[in-house]
């Protein structure tokens, strides 16, 4: 069985009030969470601070809010889904 493909290498994720700072595939981004989610914009700081980055680098999940955002949407990357990549044959 083949290992799971990673969508992105996501590192150094941190929050400063309503802004998310993260490094994706070696490039640093700062994102206004309110532009991506009304739920995150209205959440308490402790709720926004409790997040989990998916092991594949596909997205970020806020369990207290039941909110998920894809890395592609957060940083404006058009990314091909690993499941649709052509295989060598």
- What are the chain's domains? 10-75 (3.30.2020.40)
Alpha-carbon distance of 53 to 62, in angstroms, equals 9
Q: Computed from CA positions of residues 62, 45, 19, 33, in that sequence, does the dihedral angle turn out positive or negative? A: positive
pTM greater than 0.75: yes
| Tens of each residue's pLDDT in the chain, 89 residues | 334 678 899 999 999 888 999 999 999 999 998 899 999 999 999 999 999 999 999 999 999 999 999 999 999 876 565 555 555 55
Alpha-carbon distance of 78 to 86, in angstroms, equals 17
């Amino acid at each position: 069985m083949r290992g799971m493909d990673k969508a992105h290498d996501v590192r150094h994720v941190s929050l400063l009030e309503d802004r998310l700072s993260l490094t994706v595939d070696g490039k640093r981004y700062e994102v206004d969470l309110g532009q991506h989610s009304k739920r995150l914009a209205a959440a308490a700081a402790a709720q926004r601070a409790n997040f989990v980055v998916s092991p594949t680098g596909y997205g970020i999940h806020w369990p207290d809010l039941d909110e998920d955002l894809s890395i592609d949407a957060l940083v404006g990357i058009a990314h091909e889904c690993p499941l649709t990549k052509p295989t060598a044959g």
